């Protein structure tokens, strides 16, 4: 049986509310060097910070709907206001400038600029003006905008029309239209684009566990055996189509870069002497990261181990789609990595559930000797394990040979609901310092080209809810 956190089932005990872990439990930060041109950034997501949920003709997204369901699935919380970034953008940009930030990675709310989302639907010029102003404000303060097109918030109208990602043909056409609008209106000032943030989370947590919007698996008639893999298939092909469109239509003038952001833990074997557990650790990485990374960055089919395990549950690429992937793979300019923690992987001997998505692997915070993977932070699953981070940087580089940008990393502190505790965040400082040291070692000792680090997040945001309820805070 897999970790309950991976299944999306949680209780209050999962939240660390006191300082039972202190910074003295951590290794010492060495403050190792990083390249002079290393990009220091921060990141947010539109729904989690913008607020203005229904302001200036913005349409509803699946999160606007999900966070208002009764009974509540989000602890009676919503992001109608959140950090009010929509109305305080100038103040927030000045805050970034005061911190010496080089890069701000933000996402565009699809339903803010096309309220109903579709390729034949009306464009909202007020939404366009907001993002145009944000980009101008950033550039005026010497901050590079890095724009994510999709960070979990598909327009509700598209979900109502055809269930969004579950209809590959329709979604692909609407996403391509939306992306073209963004490239047309903002591309003269944006040099880095991300198509999708964390497709694993979109596929599993939104369409299998039902932990996140739209909570699809809770609806009658859903099929958790096949639908999450169909969602992933749609994301891969939609990414490829948009990459091809950008390179064919915009790159010659705009000279920008484009790629995707994948999240993933690193996995160590539960029993390092057991070959089954060693295989389980590698297999879990492939099911988590290789699922998307191999077709997108290697330009071919899904990993053979996934094909063998999932059989007909995993969609087939047509010859034309494989050709598209082979053509677009070299166009991905960087590997966007969201990473937070490391786990132990143990191979299970009992038969898996019919809708198992892990490769029949259990994830644990301790190994066969009872050793913890690292000190706990503000949530039980997020352990401080910088050595695992370094190993993951190497794993990604050795597999895909693309420069890495760490597009999200960070941690919550125990008890930080208390303002004084949140402000004196020694634990978070130690965590970030250790992970930056791991990047330095990966660069200078292992030869991994890591070009930047964007801390999650710029400000305390609605995303804390996700930290409390799932495997990944981004």
Instruction: Return the DSSP state at 300.
Output: S
Q: Give the span between the Cα atoms of 454 and 474, in whole angstroms.
A: 12
Cβ of 423: how many Cβ atoms within 10 Å? 8
Comparing C-alpha atoms, which of 212, 329, 311, 332 is closest to residue 261? 332
Comparing C-alpha atoms, which of 166, 151, 262, 291 is closest to residue 212? 151
Catalytic machinery residues: 198, 408
Instruction: Return the DSSP state at 318.
Output: P
Comparing C-alpha atoms, which of 388, 398, 280 is closest to residue 335? 398
Instruction: Return the DSSP state at 349.
Output: -
In angstroms, the Cα distances linking 110 to 107, 120, 159 are: 9, 14, 13
Comparing C-alpha atoms, which of 195, 84, 193 is closest to residue 135? 193
Comparing C-alpha atoms, which of 432, 377, 384 is closest to residue 406? 432
Strand order in the sheet with 361-364: 266-269, 342-347, 361-364
The residue behind tokens 């970790």 is 3
Q: At 126, list the tokens.
A: 């007020």
Question: 376: which strand partners?
Answer: 383
- Using N-to-C axis directions, what is the helix angle for 168-186 and 125-140, rounded to 10°? 50
Radius of gyration of the chain (CA): 21
Comparing C-alpha atoms, which of 432, 438, 434, 388 is closest to residue 285? 388
Cβ of 312: how many Cβ atoms within 10 Å? 9
Which H, E and C letters describe 4-34, residue by residue? HHHHCCCCHHHECCCCCCCHHHCCCCCCCCC
Instruction: Return the DSSP state at 312.
Output: G
Q: At 160, list the tokens.
A: 């109502």
Q: At 356, list the tokens.
A: 């198992």
């Amino acid at each position: 049986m897999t970790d309950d956190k991976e299944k999306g089932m949680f209780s209050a005990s999962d939240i660390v509310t006191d300082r039972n872990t202190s910074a003295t439990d951590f290794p010492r930060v060495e403050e190792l060097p990083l390249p002079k041109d290393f990009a220091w950034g921060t990141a947010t997501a539109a729904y989690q910070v913008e607020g203005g949920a229904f302001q200036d003709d913005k349409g509803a997204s699946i999160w606007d709907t999900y966070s208002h369901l009764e009974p509540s699935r989000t602890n009676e919380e919503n992001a109608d206001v959140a950090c009010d970034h929509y109305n305080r953008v100038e103040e927030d940009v000045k805050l970034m400038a005061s911190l010496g930030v080089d890069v701000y990675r933000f996402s565009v709310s699809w339903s803010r600029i096309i309220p109903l989302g579709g390729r034949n639907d009306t464009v909202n010029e007020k939404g366009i003006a907001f993002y145009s102003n944000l980009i101008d404000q950033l550039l005026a303060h010497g901050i590079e905008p890095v724009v994510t097109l999709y960070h979990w918030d598909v327009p509700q109208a598209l979900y109502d029309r055809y269930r969004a990602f579950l209809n590959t043909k329709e979604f692909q056409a609407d996403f391509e239209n939306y992306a073209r609008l963004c490239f047309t209106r903002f591309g003269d000032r944006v040099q880095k684009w991300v198509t999708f943030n964390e497709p694993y989370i979109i596929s599993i947590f939104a369409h299998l566990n039902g932990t996140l919007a739209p909570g699809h698996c809770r609806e009658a008639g859903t099929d958790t055996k096949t639908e999450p893999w169909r969602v992933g298939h749609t994301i891969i092909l939609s990414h490829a189509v948009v990459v091809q469109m950008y390179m064919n239509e915009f790159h010659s003038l705009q000279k920008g870069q484009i790629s995707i952001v994948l999240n993933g833990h690193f996995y160590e074997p539960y029993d390092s002497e057991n070959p089954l557990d060693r295989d389980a650790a590698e297999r879990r990485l492939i099911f988590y990261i290789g699922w998307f990374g191999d077709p997108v960055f290697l330009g071919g089919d899904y990993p053979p181990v996934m094909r063998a395990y999932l059989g007909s549950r995993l969609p087939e690429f047509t010859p034309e789609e494989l050709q598209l992937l082979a053509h677009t793979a070299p166009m991905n300019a960087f590997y966007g990595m969201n990473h937070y923690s490391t786990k132990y992987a143990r191979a299970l001997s009992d038969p898996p559930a019919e809708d198992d998505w892990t490769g029949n692997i259990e994830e644990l915070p301790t190994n066969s000797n009872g050793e913890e993977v690292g000190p706990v932070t503000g949530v039980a699953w997020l352990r401080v394990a910088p050595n695992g981070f370094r190993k993951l940087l190497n794993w990604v580089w050795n597999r895909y040979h693309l420069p890495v940008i760490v597009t999200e990393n960070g941690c919550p502190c125990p008890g930080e609901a208390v303002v004084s505790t949140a402000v004196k965040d020694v634990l978070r400082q130690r965590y970030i310092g250790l992970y930056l040291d791991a990047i330095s070692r990966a660069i200078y000792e292992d030869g991994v080209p890591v070009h930047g680090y964007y801390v999650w997040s710029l400000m305390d945001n609605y995303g804390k809810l996700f930290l409390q309820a799932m495997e990944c805070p981004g």
